[in-house]
Structure 1
Amino acid sequence: MTPTAQELLRTTATRLAPAPDANPLVPRIAEGRARVRTLALLGLEQRHVIPADRRSFQHLARRAAESKDLESAAFFDALADGESLARERLAPLLDACGVGRDEAATYEPQPGCQAYPAYVAWLALNGEPTDVVLALTANFAAWGSSCTTVAHALREHYGFDDAACGFFDLFAEPAPDLDRQALTAVQAGLDRGRVTAAHLRYGRLVARYEEMFWETLASGDGADGGEGGGTSKP
């Protein structure tokens, strides 16, 4: 029996859920042990991730619309709009971390952090839109959970205000409209026979590249040895 969209979204998310110990950095931040400089690097990397993902989502929306998959097009348009909002909320985070305009303009991103947007760009060119909806939606739960933890820790351990936490708050907040759009897109894809087994491969790679993002930042954190986040300087 063909699963419903709700069932497929649920089982895909379950199969692609990361291991509890997959993220080496968020627990450090949660305990206030990560350096402020590491948080600054996270923000600097996101300055490159966000515009890349926004263009990828726009391209996916165009491809979906051209193939008469208006439901997936609406989902990707919403994601692109979300990236625009994320970009606006990133500046206060960088300010709180002591990142100046010159550094932000000249920062050279790290390959391990940019593997994720590079793969999303590949999906934008090659992926069946409905399969990409499934892969990305499965990954959003892990990303949102990480952002929830970080937003809380920045207030509790680092003294960041609401504006500085706004980037993480954005992704931590429930997104019922986006969830409904994903459900509609997947159901339409099932009805048209456009869902393939590739969505699991896409999702596994998306999840692994996100892990690489956190691993890369964690590898340079150097927070051991008593340099706690609450007292460290950028």
Structure 2
Amino acid sequence: MPDHTAVELVARAREENSAAAMPNRFLDLLEHGRVPIARLSWLAGEEYRIVDSDRRSFALLAARYPEPPAGAFFLALAQGESQAFHLLHDFAAALGMSEKDLRAYEPHPSAQAYPAYLAQRAMFGTAAEVALALLANFEEWGTYCARTASALRTHYRCTDEAVAFFSFFAESPADFPEQATAVVAAGLASGESPEDIARAPRLLHAYETSFWDAMAEDLT
């Protein structure tokens, strides 16, 4: 395999994920006001589990890879997930869900594949794998969050406060791509296999697709 720079690896991962992208039926229905409120409670309940898991995964990665550029990168992500976790409660409250309701929600296995894989990589993978996976998938995730926020305002009369969780993820921090690319570059410089690093974005993308498919289950 020819030599790969981090920038080339990022471009390749983005292209592969773009080619693998599928229509998001849940969001298509949401944008027409055809998702029942009860199903929106699924969204809140699943995200409650996901964000709580992801912030722990990022904290673990920051502890495993404390040196720059990875340490500060993952620590900032963990802090961001903590902020998002608080914002999620405003969305849940708009649906009439309490903290007790969120804790009692029974998650769907296929919707939790994403955080389960991220937790696995946080424990056994490398910083470069996770950084590339996040970078390659963040644009699509951000677009989905922007669509969700807009649809909730338009069709479900949600306030800006209620959709702040989704607005938070709609755009990545300005320096996120550069920081993530630097973590990938450090992994390559340490001798990591480009193919091993490139596998993580493909899997994470598939698991995110599983999440949205679970949200659309049985909806017409």
TM score, norm. by length of structure 2:
0.91
Paired positions, count? 219
Asked whether the equivalents of residues 133 and 182 of structure 1 are also in contact (C-alpha less than 8 Å), the reply is yes
Amino acid at match of 1:5: A
Question: Residue by residue, what CA displacement relative to the aligned partner does 1:46-87 show, whole Å, maximum 9, x if unpaired?
Answer: 11111111111111111122xxx5212222111111100110
CA contact (8 A) 2:114 2:208 kept: yes
Cα deviation, 1:141-196, whole Å, max 9, x if unaligned, reads: 11111001111111111111100110000010242122221122222223333353
Distance 1:111 1:212 in 2: 10
2:58 paired with 1:62: no
For 2:118 and 2:129, how far apart are their aligned partners in 1?
12
CA distance, structure 2, for counterparts of residue 42 and residue 19 of structure 1: 23
Aligned to 1:44: 45
* Counterpart contact for 2:29–2:35, Cα < 8 Å: yes
Q: Write the distance in 1 (CA, Å) between the matches of 2:17 and 2:197.
A: 10
Given the alignment of the two structures, is residue 162 of structure 1 paired with residue 155 of structure 2, yes or no?
A: no
Partner of 1:199: 197
Aligned to 2:29: 28
8 Å CA contact 2:16–2:202 kept in 1: the answer is no
Moved more, 134-143 or 20-29: 20-29
Deviations 1:119-159 (A, max 9, x none): 11110111121122111211111111100111111111111
User: Once the two structures are superposed, what CA deviation does each residue of 1:9-53 show, in whole Å capped at 9, x if it has no partner?
Assistant: 122111122645342211111222111221221011111111111
Partner of 1:104: 102
Q: For residues 19 and 148 of structure 2, what CA distance do their matches in structure 1 show?
A: 17
Unmatched 5+ stretches in structure 1: 225-234
Equivalent residue runs for 1:117-156 within 5 Å? 117-156=115-154
Show the counterpart of 1:83. Answer: 81
Q: Match of 1:217, as an amino acid? A: M
> Secondary structure in 1 aligned to 2:40?
helix
Higher relative contact order (Cα pairs below 8 Å, separated by 6+ residues): 1
Q: What amino acid is the match of 2:32?
A: E
Aligned residue in 1 for 2:11: 10
Structure 2: gaps (5+ residues): none
Cα deviation 1:64-113 (Å, max 9, x = unaligned): 22xxx521222211111110011011011011112234322311111111
Give distance in 2, aligned partners of 1:174 and 1:106.
31
CA distance in 2, matches of 1:149, 1:18: 20
**TM-score of the superposed pair, with normalisation by structure 1:** 0.86
Question: What is the distance in 2 between the residues matched to 1:134 and 1:178?
Answer: 11
Distance across 1 between alignment mates of 2:62 and 2:41 = 32
Q: Which residue of 2 aligns with 1:53?
A: 54
Looking at structure 2, the residues matched to 94 and 176 of structure 1 have their Cα atoms a distance apart, in angstroms, of 28
CA 1:133–1:113 in structure 2 vs 1: closer, same or farther (change >3 Å)?
Answer: same
**Alpha-carbon distance in structure 1 between the residues aligned to 2:16 and 2:130:** 15
Tell me the distance in 1 between the aligned counterparts of 2:26 and 2:147.
11
Secondary structure of 1:164's match?
Answer: coil
2:152 touches 2:163 (CA, 8 Å); kept in 1? yes
Question: 1:170–1:195: structure 2 CA closer, same or farther, 3 Å change rule?
Answer: farther
SS at match of 1:34: coil
RMSD: 1.8
Task: Name the residue aligned to 1:187.
Answer: 185
